[in-house]
Amino acid sequence: MLNEILYIFFPKSCGSCNLPLHTFEDGICTACRHSLPEMIFISLVENQMHSIFEEYNIYLASALFNFEKNTEIQELIHNLKYRNQKKLGKIIGQWHGAKLATDMNFTQVDVVLPVPIHIKKLKNRGYNQISNYGAILAKKLNADFNETTLKKTVNTKTQAKHSRQQRFDNMLNSMQIRNPQILENKHVLLVDDVITTGATMKACIECLNQVKGITISIAAMAVTLLEDA
């Protein structure tokens, strides 16, 4: 009864369409849960995401949603990333993780690593928007979650208006790995929110490839597969 009274005065909105949620809905409304554009290759071993990272030896690649600008998916990610709706990371993680947990390839993951953000950005935002998502994926896959080994040492500016090559150049050598021995001979799942050009992921992969015997897979909340992204 108290929750219903609070809802009247402080209604919650859907993280995707921003319309008011019903009291029985959590984070994302029922309509959006059925209409958001899920990728059809969520757990396929070989899929279009591999072409983004064709120069790297990536094992598995998965994204939950197809990302397009000016859509509900962009609004969902923006609410998570810039509007302090951290709970959306857990919801997306549960959604994606439930699907990956049915695939024996992904259940072989040993460690989940979120793509890091620089300490200054972390202080300004107050949280890494990928942390909750990564932690839930790790739980679903019975893997360890580690957000201290991979660090971002260069505070790069927003990449949204840069070309593919500029994004890669800006991110190159921006990552550092600490205590790499704990990842030796491990299957690592590197996770991010949105993959466009893949520049951030590539910088992380460049760094992780220095680890002996490592196997690298990737997962993201969303990916855009457009050639001119």
> Which pLDDT score, from 0 to 100, does residue 134 have?
98
Tell me whether residue 46 is in a domain: yes
Q: Is residue 60 part of a domain?
A: yes
2 inside domain: no
Q: Cβ–Cβ contacts within 10 Å for residue 124, how many?
A: 9
CA–CA dist 42, 74 (Å, integer) = 19
Indicate the pLDDT class of residue 160, thresholds 50, 70 and 90.
Answer: low
* pLDDT tens-digit readout, 39-48: 877 666 678 8
**Is 13 contained in some domain?**
no
Give the pLDDT confidence score for residue 101 in this predicted structure. 95
Q: Is residue 17 part of a domain?
A: no
Average pLDDT value over all residues in the chain? 87
> Given pLDDT bands bounded at 50, 70 and 90, which one contains residue 168?
low
**β-bridge mates for residue 152, sequence order:** 175
- Say if residue 5's pLDDT is above 70: no
Share of the chain above pLDDT 90, in %: 66
Categorize the per-residue pLDDT at 165 as very low, low, confident or very high, splitting at 50, 70 and 90: low
More confident residue, 87 or 7: 87
Residue 181's alpha-carbon distances to 58, 141, 150, 191, 216, in angstroms, are 20, 22, 12, 20, 15
Tokens of 44: 């396929």
Residue 107 lies in a domain: yes
Q: How much is the pLDDT for 6? A: 40
Structural domain range at position 149: 38-223
User: What tens digit of pLDDT does each residue of 62-114 get?
Assistant: 999 999 999 999 999 999 999 999 999 999 999 999 999 999 999 999 999 99
State the total domains in the chain.
1
Q: Give a yes or no: residue 113 inside a domain.
A: yes
Query: Does some domain include residue 12?
Result: no
Q: Check residues 170 and 196 and name the one with the higher pLDDT.
A: 196
> Could you tell me the CATH number of the domain that includes residue 121?
3.40.50.2020
Residue 128, pLDDT above cutoff 80:
yes
- What confidence tens digit (pLDDT) does each residue in 173-218 have? 788 999 999 999 999 999 999 998 898 999 999 999 999 999 999 9
